[in-house]
Chain A
Amino acid sequence: MAVIADAVAPRPGRKRLDRLVTGVLSHLVLAIFALIVVYPVAWMVFASLKDQTDLLGNIWGLPRSWAWRNYGDAWRTAGLGRALANSIFVSLATVVLVVAIAAPAGYALAKFRLRYATAIFLVFVLTMQAPVPVIPLYVLLVRLHMTDSYVGYILPLAAGGLPLAVFVFRAFFLTIPRELEEAAVVDGSTRLGAFLRVVMPVSTPAVATVAILQFLAAWNEYFLALILIRSPELRTLPLAIQVFFFDWGRTDWGPIFAALSVGSIPMIVVYVLMQRRFVQGLTAGAVKG
């Protein structure tokens, strides 16, 4: 066998050169496509610090003017401070709500002998891919007098994230050995006590995945906000930025880029700090087993 392989293989010198050339070429292609992704984002931040002449005359370079004024303008005109606070509040509230109710549900579906466990699980899984029924949802919220309120936005947003969260928690709890809870129950804990004191503390990976998926979904959510939120003081960042863009965008671009930066830099920083968890959580969330 070895003789045949040697005869097929090209001479060693040529082979090394081939490998070097393909290596350099792959890095070149990868670098170009990475640059296509990263450069516009970096450019957005540069542009947020350019004044109008700089923006139109110095398209590719770093800002010459350092127009911090753009941020002040965007902050005041678009109500970004309020929108930032709203986005943080709404995103955190949906994360807490989803973890608090999806974790016990996923646990019960994984560990209890429930007669309808499969049926309940199927309800979540089968409707997971269905688009949000916005029109009847809107009608329902009007009936409940809940449009244009935090609650009326947070609850549907959390509901939308539930199937995936239940799915992730159930899959995780299935991997936890039964002895763990049994030991706690023997020590005199109730089932709830065992869940809270023994199971949840070892479930950080599942909580992190669900929290990242839900926070990101809520932070970037736009369509429901557009339909459900009317009052300027309730706008989340994506909605506030879009309204600001439609009202001011075609004339004054510096503040627009400042608003875009405020809307995306916090998330980018968190992503870069926790990128391994982000990439794993988001792709696991998409693949769903």
Chain B
Amino acid sequence: MASYLWVLPALGLYALFTLVPLASGVWLALLRWDGIAPAEFVGLQNFERMLRDERLASALWHNVQYALGTVAGKIVLSLGLALLLHRSLRGRAVYRTALFLPVVMSFVVVGILWTWIYNDDFGLVNNLLRSVGLGGLAQDWLGDTRVALWALIAVDIWKWYGFHMVIFLAGLQTIPTELYEAARLDGASRWRQLTSITLPLLRPVMLVNVTLSLLGAMNVFDIPYVMTEGGPANSTNVVALHVYLQAFKFNRLGYGSALSYAIFLLITVIALVQLRLLSRNTAEY
């Protein structure tokens, strides 16, 4: 029994502040409660209410776009850069240090910085576009309902592409060079080597990178809250922001709890499906 004392502090703290809330949230989801007046048991009404919640539907759709945009952007960019960096030895450490830098900055700092970078008149983006003669593309990035969400997606990609690149690099280093030598002897082109050796053998790290960016996209809160507060006209409202507003601005703790559970289940299902898709016929060598 004394041996369990070694585990007890960690398990106790974790149980109290994560497992207990995780479990008690189920009960909370069945209540109508503003946190002050006595709570009223309403059964599954909170879940029914979700079906009629138009803001929720649009927020979910924004999360889907956010996920598609960030996952595609991060994977393509980081894989491309990793492939380049893997081959060029000189200056590798410098590039890696530089590209990894935004990982250590908070989303609050990054979000505020980019709010100014996107500024219509004085921001870097529009000034860059004007100075290279593309002034026609300059616009109010965060003020236009059609582009605001994509402007936020770009910031998320900016913060993480160096991080995913390092993970891809680690994966590339595990591929035996003899495979490429053999392929060259057989006259395989660069492209053929990429599609027949590199990409199949990168499947495990690809899985890690896709899962991490997908989870990040489904839970995103800081960037839209700090940069646009969900606007303009709700065009950047995402699920986590919707939950936050319902629970802590409108004091609907029961509904907020039901929402977060539904979303949690949805994310778990997506993650499992994707895990199956990506881990199927993992290459062996």
Chain A residues engaging chain B, CB cutoff 8 angstroms: 1, 4-5, 8, 23, 26-27, 29-31, 33-34, 36-38, 40-41, 43-44, 47, 55-56, 59-60, 100-102, 104-105, 107-109, 112, 114, 120, 123-124, 127, 129-140, 142, 155-156, 158-160, 162-163, 166, 216, 219-220, 222-223, 227, 237-239, 241-242, 245, 249, 253, 256-257, 260, 263-264, 267-268, 270-272, 275, 278-279, 282-283, 286-287
- Nearest Cβ on chain B to A44's Cβ, whole angstroms: 5
Cα–Cα, bound, A238→B111 (Å): 11
Instruction: Provide the residues of chain A in CB contact with B170, threshold 8 Å.
Output: 283, 287
Please, how many residues of chain B have a CB less than 8 angstroms from a CB on the other chain? 83
Q: Which of B1-26 contact A (CB under 8 A)?
A: 3-4, 6-7, 9-11, 13-14, 16-22, 24-25
Cα–Cα, bound, A112→B5 (Å): 12
Taking CB as reference atom, which chain B residue is nearest A112?
B3
B35 within 8 A of A: yes
Decide if B104 touches A30 in the complex (CB within 8 Å): no
5 CB-based A-B contacts, threshold 8 Å: A41-B101, A159-B14, A245-B112, A275-B100, A287-B167
1/0 per residue, CB under 8 A from A, across B78-115: the answer is: 00110011011001001111111111111111001111
Which of A123, A158, A260 is packed against the most chain B CB atoms within 10 Å? A260
Taking CB as reference atom, which chain B residue is nearest A237?
B106
B253 within 8 A of A: yes
Cα–Cα, bound, A114→B162 (Å): 41
Which among B87, B122, B248 is the interface contact of A59 at CB below 8 angstroms? B122
Decide if B103 touches A127 in the complex (CB within 8 Å): no
Decide if B14 touches A1 in the complex (CB within 8 Å): no
Decide if A260 touches B222 in the complex (CB within 8 Å): no
Q: A26-B85, A123-B14, A131-B260 are in contact. List 9 more A-B contacts (CB 8 A).
A: A44-B113, A108-B4, A124-B14, A135-B257, A137-B21, A139-B35, A242-B226, A253-B116, A271-B104
Instruction: Provide the residues of chain A in CB contact with B166, threshold 8 Å.
Output: 279, 283
Instruction: Provide the residues of chain A in CB contact with B141, threshold 8 Å.
Output: none
B57 within 8 A of A: no
Decide if A256 touches B185 in the complex (CB within 8 Å): no
B247 within 8 A of A: yes
Which among A140, A142, A249 is the interface contact of B24 at CB below 8 angstroms? A140
Decide if A238 touches B7 in the complex (CB within 8 Å): no
- Nearest Cβ on chain A to B129's Cβ, whole angstroms: 13
Decide if A105 touches B10 in the complex (CB within 8 Å): yes
Decide if A29 touches B20 in the complex (CB within 8 Å): no
Cα–Cα, bound, A37→B110 (Å): 11
Which among B88, B185, B248 is the interface contact of A227 at CB below 8 angstroms? B248
Instruction: Provide the residues of chain B in CB contact with A219, threshold 8 Å.
Output: 106
Q: Which of B248-267 contact A (CB under 8 A)?
A: 248, 253, 256-257, 260, 264, 267
Instruction: Provide the residues of chain B in CB contact with A30, threshold 8 Å.
Output: 81, 84-85, 88, 91, 95
Decide if B10 touches A287 in the complex (CB within 8 Å): no
Instruction: Provide the residues of chain B in CB contact with A140, threshold 8 Å.
Output: 17, 20-21, 24
Decide if A260 touches B104 in the complex (CB within 8 Å): no
A162-B13, A264-B105 known; A286 and B19 CB under 8 Å?
Answer: no
Cα–Cα, bound, A31→B99 (Å): 10
- Nearest Cβ on chain A to B229's Cβ, whole angstroms: 9
Decide if B212 touches A38 in the complex (CB within 8 Å): no
A112-B6, A133-B21 known; A286 and B187 CB under 8 Å?
Answer: no
